[in-house]
Structure 1
Amino acid sequence: MNDVYRNPVLNADWSDPDAIRVGGDFYLTASSFHRVPGLPILHSRDLVHWTIIGHALERQVPEADFRTPQRGGGVWAPAIRHHAGRYRIVYPDPDRGLFVTSAEDPAGEWTRPHLLKAGKGLIDPCPLWAEDGSAYLVHGWAKSRSGISNRLTVHRMNDDATALLDDGAVVIDGDALPGYRTLEGPKFYERDGWYWIFAPAGGVTNGWQSAFRSRDPFGPYEERIVLEQGDSDVNGPHQGAWVTTEDGSDWFLHFQDRGPFGRVVHLQPMRWGEDGWPVIGEDGTPVAHGPVPVPGGTATAPPEDFTNGIGLQWTWQANPEPHWARTGPDLRLACVDTGTEDLRHLPNLLGRHLPGDPSRTETTLRLDDAEPGARAGLAVVGDTYAWIGLARTYTGLELVHRTADGDIEHDAAPATPVDGDTIALGVEVDAGGRCQFLAGTPLRPVGPPFQATAGRWVGAAIGLFAHGKGSGAGVFGAVRLRPTTPCPTAPDAHG
């Protein structure tokens, strides 16, 4: 094994990461927004190689509200902790409140989410079980829902994280700090008699990471910026997790916003300075590489085919219905009419993260028993989208390639008749997110390149879909995703 890692260690959209260590195992969760299942659980032995092992949220709640895609809503930045033999995740739904779910085994079944605090605009919660037996919760505010922002609030909490014990108090007011804006994403810790709140500010794209400390969980807090871009090429480095290995070394996981590729995860060394403040990266600037924290880790790639069901790398855009999919080895997606042909609003679009490195995705597609008007394909979906696939017309089967950069979908290439019932499809994505769609045997370019764009707080997704009336289905073969250039980064959890 190479004992040097390179950033990002998770080169795809694992937004707002939080992580813990339990024994020799590290567990990470991330924002999932409207995607279902939500709250992914990743495992690592070395903080570099990560494998997705499950989801804590099998369906979004309330279930009826999430029958359709709630783009920009759903699960925002969560926090994962281990206390009294149970794993707990506290997560926000900015339109409903703060929820908690727990499990004895992070790869097993998690409890139905419990509403810990109701209200609009409550975001980014993090619990703390202090050494003296007391428990607390810190959270931020979303101005879009509450009219409040740039503030962090702390509550007392009961031991099993099922109730808050007071009305809460604002402990850090970003408006009172020169240059601060969008203070959010707090993580709560305790060390050597100090209470620490690690929190980002300045916005997703160009912000920074601050640390706050106090002798009392309710303050007053001192402040220091501990990580910012500096002369590195890592814009907006912030919002993540402080973890300590078994041998006592400290590390910080954070994200970098990369537009259509989403928020990728970096790993930074961390140490404590002589003045008691954390020093992250190279004197507060992100590093591009470093020694692997715990040598010997490996990652397991998710399956390419559907023999054992839909792999953990795939998520729906809304709570799924049982009839949407049958698995294989091929994946049979029912042609469902949801009242819209806009892929951004199809609940039954099945997606996976767009890799942050140049890549090529390939599959095969057959359109079975479809009525005229039915269609199925391979897509790249963000705030704009493009797809290539098959459409059934009154005269036969056609290969179509379409894009949408507003509310109207239009042809990106002329439709062409298809001989036979199965076609190979693909998409190549370059380092800037330009997508070249492919079709045929051998695969050949179809239409001009399409520029992928980010979605609502998420990166673009590679998607599979089928749409139409009747009993038809799009039948997809194994979905193979490969780097198209040598990849210097560590393997990531989506394959």
Structure 2
Amino acid sequence: MLKKRKFSFKKLGCIAVLICMAVAAKSFLAKAYTSDLGNGTYQNPVMYADYPDNSVIKVGSTYYMACSSINYMPGLPILKSQDLVNWEICSYAFDRIDTGMSGIDKTHADAYNLVGGENVYSKGCWAPSLKYHNGTFYATFASLDLGKTFVCTKTGPMGFGGWTFTAISGIGYAHDADLFFDTDGRVYLINGGCNVTELTPDCKSVKYGGINQKIFDGGPSHDGNRIFKKNGYYYILSTPIKGNGAYQRIEKAWRSKSLTGPYEQTIILDDGANHQVCVVDDGSYNWAMLFEDKGAVGRIPKLAPVTWVNNWPMIGVNGSATVPNIYNKPAAGNGIKSPGTDDDFTSQGYVLSQWQWNHNPDNSKWTTSERPGWMRLKTSYSKDFLQARNTLTQRIQGPASSGWVKLDTTNIKPGQISGLSAFHSKYGYIGVRNDNGTKKLVQYNVTGSETAINLTNNIVYLKVSTDCNAQTAKFYYSYNGNSWTQLGSTLKMDFFYKLWFVGYRFALFNYTTGSDTSGYADFDYFKFSSF
């Protein structure tokens, strides 16, 4: 969630209470996917949306899960649950990545601010690790574009705000690293390869004279590293590529009585779809969170039991090495929960926690206060849609979902375009464009197809409907919000994870390719339905 001004990280915690109050005041009843079947069982995935690279811990009776955020801000989302099935967003570890933050220079910050044609699509915040130690939460992540690995810390209860942000001194990019506090008080990063690097107790620098070595060869694609300790064994999990065939991920476990080895290994999951296992440190290590690459919707989290076989953490019922479709919940929980969807933009100065901006927002160019109950996106110049500032996004959901908005186009000036997108590198949108004083409804796909008709009313309703099985999006407009007319061509949501490493999103946008930046677009609400 964001406040309508530029944050400093020292001040971020001061608004946490206000943010939580704003969230608590909301009560939306949008239909969204749920994993909880209501009879003590759950279905996979636990969330049918893009929450990848799951790092899950348990603190008291509450589970917390950190996920990658790549180019979206605020970054490094953290969710909470009482049962590993029903999840809500409860924090972000940082609001933006910008000049002066832990040595980040202007050249790199320009990319996060979409300045000079630069961007950080497919880069940014990769594969976080979330841990809790002696009353403090630690969230680490690596950024390939910055060449750094960061630690974010928060002391006290989990919530919005109050995080510090520090580049770990003495180490560059640590691929898919997992933070590990050993029982003797020493702390390490375990990262791709497989390497172990000892850190100082505050996790802010490499420990001089500490362990810093490769402990075994996990191969060139040693992704999703996780480490835990049970019954005297160190277990390191990772996702290599399965050999002797088509590209496919499997999950392996390595174990040793000593952190530095020697290690033995076995395959703990091989079902052709699911990978990057995080065995949950809940005192028993009997559950695992992982994810599946699922096309346009992104990488979706799943939950599986862990069956211990000869001191190996085998994934699946009775050690089947497969993820069940339906299984018994780990705990009763406290009702159906999910990240928010709908927004009527009545929280002045804030957006709700389900929203993330595409790259760093320009906080001078958006407001929910100038026209209470509306999100006003003010206009900045951009050469194209992907470089436009202040595109406001939230995840599509599977198996199919729709998002729609009410848009007031009264103040859209020549050269300006505003609307709703199925947002990704292969995007499509429906919007209103002012062509030299004539406003037109436009449906455009990045492949080059465009359909345009004259706009007949300044108040227009726009809808995007996505089908995650067919990998398609369709675009609609209405002048009354009830009867909808399809416009333009169907978008083929062409997804390859290495393009952006994230799934498609609904996105509200406004920018101009002209010289007049005095205009703005007003959004009355965003509504959502999953089916």
Specify the TM-score bucket, using the shorter chain as the normaliser. Answer: 0.7 to 0.9
For the 8 Å contact 2:196–2:213, the answer to whether it is kept is yes
- The separation in 2 between residues aligned to 1:284 and 1:26, in whole angstroms, is 24
Deviates most, 199-208 or 380-389: 199-208
1:170-249 correspondence to structure 2 within 5 Å: 170-175=214-219, 181-202=220-241, 206-229=248-271, 235-245=272-282, 248=284
Corresponding residue for residue 191 of structure 2: 139
For the 8 Å contact 1:80–1:87, the answer to whether it is kept is yes
**1:181-236, CA deviations, whole angstroms, 9 ceiling, x for partnerless residues?**
5112211111111111111111897201111111111111111110111xxxxx43
- The separation in 2 between residues aligned to 1:296 and 1:184, in whole angstroms, is 31
- The separation in 1 between residues aligned to 2:211 and 2:363, in whole angstroms, is 42
1:129 Cα deviation from its structure 2 partner: 1.1
Corresponding residue for residue 349 of structure 1: 391
Q: Secondary structure at the match of 1:223?
A: strand
1:121 Cα deviation from its structure 2 partner: 4.5
Corresponding residue for residue 139 of structure 2: 89
Match among 444, 451, 454 for residue 417 of structure 1 = 454
Match among 350, 365, 388 for residue 324 of structure 1 = 365
Using structure 1 for the length normalisation, give the TM-score.
Answer: 0.88
Using structure 2 for the length normalisation, give the TM-score.
Answer: 0.82
Q: Secondary structure at the match of 2:126?
A: coil
1:329 Cα deviation from its structure 2 partner: 1.9
Match among 505, 509, 520 for residue 473 of structure 1 = 520
Q: Secondary structure at the match of 1:260?
A: helix
C-alpha distance 81-119 of structure 1, shift in aligned 2 (>3 A):
closer
For the 8 Å contact 1:16–1:31, the answer to whether it is kept is yes
C-alpha distance 193-277 of structure 1, shift in aligned 2 (>3 A):
same
Report the number of matched residues.
455
Unaligned runs of 5+ in 1: 141-150, 176-180, 230-234, 485-495
Corresponding residue for residue 429 of structure 2: 387
Are residue 67 (structure 1) and residue 113 (structure 2) matched?
Answer: yes
Match among 305, 311, 319 for residue 276 of structure 1 = 311
For the 8 Å contact 1:453–1:460, the answer to whether it is kept is no
Corresponding residue for residue 44 of structure 1: 81
C-alpha distance 301-239 of structure 1, shift in aligned 2 (>3 A):
closer
Which amino acid in 1 is paired with 2:213?
Answer: A
Corresponding residue for residue 434 of structure 1: 472
**1:286-344, CA deviations, whole angstroms, 9 ceiling, x for partnerless residues?**
11110111113331552422111211111112111112211142211112113x12x22
- The separation in 2 between residues aligned to 1:11 and 1:264, in whole angstroms, is 6
- The separation in 2 between residues aligned to 1:373 and 1:398, in whole angstroms, is 11
Unaligned runs of 5+ in 2: 1-37, 99-103
Are residue 315 (structure 1) and residue 386 (structure 2) matched?
Answer: no
- The separation in 2 between residues aligned to 1:293 and 1:384, in whole angstroms, is 39
Are residue 369 (structure 1) and residue 390 (structure 2) matched?
Answer: no
- The separation in 1 between residues aligned to 2:416 and 2:195, in whole angstroms, is 51
Corresponding residue for residue 377 of structure 2: 333
1:106-145 correspondence to structure 2 within 5 Å: 106-117=158-169, 121-140=173-192
Match among 144, 153, 169 for residue 102 of structure 1 = 153
1:393 Cα deviation from its structure 2 partner: 2.2
Corresponding residue for residue 130 of structure 2: 80
For the 8 Å contact 1:81–1:88, the answer to whether it is kept is yes
- The separation in 1 between residues aligned to 2:252 and 2:39, in whole angstroms, is 32
Deviates most, 208-217 or 64-73: 64-73
C-alpha distance 117-167 of structure 1, shift in aligned 2 (>3 A):
farther
Q: Secondary structure at the match of 2:216?
A: strand
